[in-house]
Structure 1
Amino acid sequence: MNPRILLAVALALLPLAAAAATTPKPFTARYQVSQDGQPMGEATVTLRPGPDGSWILRKDTKGTAGLAALLGASTQEASRFRWRGAVPEAISYDYHLVAAGKDKQRHLQVDWSKRQVSVQDGKHADTYPAQPGMVERNTVPLAVGLALGDGKQQISLPVGVRQTVETENFKVAGSETVKVPAGSFQAERVERSDAAKTFSAWYVPGRYPLPVKLAQSDGGNLVLELVSYSQP
């Protein structure tokens, strides 16, 4: 083959290779969960390949102490997505909460051929336009971690929620030492920088795509701290 053609092909493939290099391999991350400073449960987050080139990010949280254990509380969240560069672009998201014999479910589905999002939340159904590169609540921590790994200090994400795609903004607020069951780390502290300010997380870019510690106030002042991280 003509050397010029070979060079053109190589240059054309470079962006794809760079994008693939920044996406994580399958993993299992385990966290301890506390609420208002009290032990509450444990969470397991897994990433694995899915069908048709998609990927599955699953988070299973189980109450093991206090009121959460008494109520038999557990949540399962499963996201199916495709890689758009190094962004986990949403295909579907399922949420299931069980507590005290009751359950709550939500299903989000993106039809990319129609550029439309459909959300079923109990008896409520909504549709709205999809946005390229959109994520959903379960993949937000992963998307932020991947952006940090690419050296970004300020991150803006289109996030599919119940009735619309909202823009959520995050920024690196500083570097500090954080101690969790998995060890002591020099981490970058990331805060949500828009009006909501419901997200604080500590990341170790280049080592883990997920935070070693995550505090969220929109789900009951929950704090997740990394216990272990493994890859097959």
Structure 2
Amino acid sequence: MLRPALALVLILASGLALASPPKAFTATYRVLRDGAPMGEASVSLKPLGDGQWEYRKHLRGTSGLAAMLGADVEEVSRFRWKGDVPEAIRYDYRLDAAIKAKQRHLVVDWNTRQVTVDEGKGAITYPARPGMVERNTTALAIGLALQDGRKQIDLPVAVKQEVEAQQFKVGGKERVAVPAGSFDAVRVDRTDADRGFSAWYAPGRYPLPVKLSQKDGGDLTMELVSFR
């Protein structure tokens, strides 16, 4: 009977008490490519019942070439909380544009601990890992790790053919100005890959970044407009 209480005392004493998972929210972002306005994005979190949650991101092209091509991207994740980690259950990606269409469907069978990914060209299956997230929920998982006070963040992330061990370094604070305001934000950089990923968080206020920059097919930046 004393062991759970003793464990809790030790966790609190070491400063490693976990942050509570966030409540439902909706955030909006301004999206820029190579510094020029491209579109707008909405990000939302809501409970589905039976211990499952939905995390949805919808990006719509409103300016420049993205608007001309009618670019529309939607990513929908279903997960369950494992502590404060959004452990993946399902992920769907859809890109629609005048010259290109793409989709990805990922599902995790936790009974067999298998991940199945299908992009319409034949399914790929590989072993799942406990506490695994996927590309859409990675930014949320990082934000919750920051609220826990973590300085180095290691995440198992389900991608197309495997679970990647992605690593993120927590740096110092930087002053960041976005449409939602100015923040003394904590900078986080991915350190295990050549692809540039940098995000700025205000962990005392939001579980999502106030600014995110990713070099993947161009310099794409998301800046927070509102959070409710």
TM-score by length of 1: 0.90
Q: Give me the whole-angstrom Cα distance separating, in 1, the residues matched to 2:155 and 2:222.
A: 22
The alignment covers a number of residue pairs equal to 221
After superposition, residues 1-232 of structure 1 pair within 5 angstroms as 11=5, 19=18, 21-100=19-98, 102-230=100-228
Give, in angstroms, the shift of residue 193 of structure 1.
Answer: 1.1
Deviation at 1:198, TM superposition (A): 2.3
Task: Tell me the secondary structure at the aligned position of residue 188 of structure 2.
Answer: strand
The Cα of 1:63 is off from its aligned counterpart by: 0.1
* CA RMSD between the two structures: 1.8
Task: Please report how far the alpha carbon of residue 157 of structure 1 lies from its aligned counterpart in structure 2 after TM superposition.
Answer: 0.3
Output one character per residue of 1:96-131: Cα deviation in whole Å (capped at 9) or x when no partner: 000006421100000000000000012131000000
Give, as a single letter, the amino acid of the residue that structure 2 aligns with 1:201.
Answer: A
Instruction: Give the Cα separation in 1 of the matches to 2:7 and 2:96.
Output: 46
SS for the counterpart of 2:204 is: coil
Structure 1 outlier segments of 4+, above 2 Å: 8-15, 195-198
Could you tell me how far 1:32 is from its partner in structure 2? 0.3
- The 1-side partners of 2:138 and 2:203 are apart by 15
- Structure-2 separation of matches of 1:124 and 1:173: 41
Tell me by how many angstroms 1:53 deviates. 1.1
Secondary structure at 1:124 match in 2: coil
Letter in 2 for 1:228: S
Kindly provide the amino acid, as one letter, of the partner of residue 162 in structure 2.
Answer: T
SS in 1 for 2:209: coil
| Unpaired stretches in structure 2, ≥5 consecutive residues | 12-16
- The answer as to whether partners of 1:115 and 1:131 remain within 8 angstroms in 2 is yes
The percent identity for this pair of structures is 63
Q: State the one-letter code of the partner of 1:218.
A: D
Segments of 5+ residues of structure 1 without an aligned counterpart are: none
Distance across 2 between alignment mates of 1:103 and 1:36: 22
Q: How many Å apart are 1:11 and its aligned residue?
A: 3.0
Partner of 2:14: none
Cα deviations by residue, 1:160-215 (Å, 9 ceiling, x for unpaired): 00000011000112211000000000000110011334210000012100000000
Structure 1 or 2: more helix by fraction: 1
**1: distance between equivalents of 2:106 and 2:221?**
25
SS class of match (1:145) = helix
State the alpha-carbon separation in 2 of the partners of residues 220 and 94 from structure 1.
23
Look up the equivalent residue of 1:11 and give its one-letter code: A
Q: Which amino acid aligns with 1:26?
A: A
Mapped to 1, the partners of 2:137 and 2:53 lie a distance apart of: 11
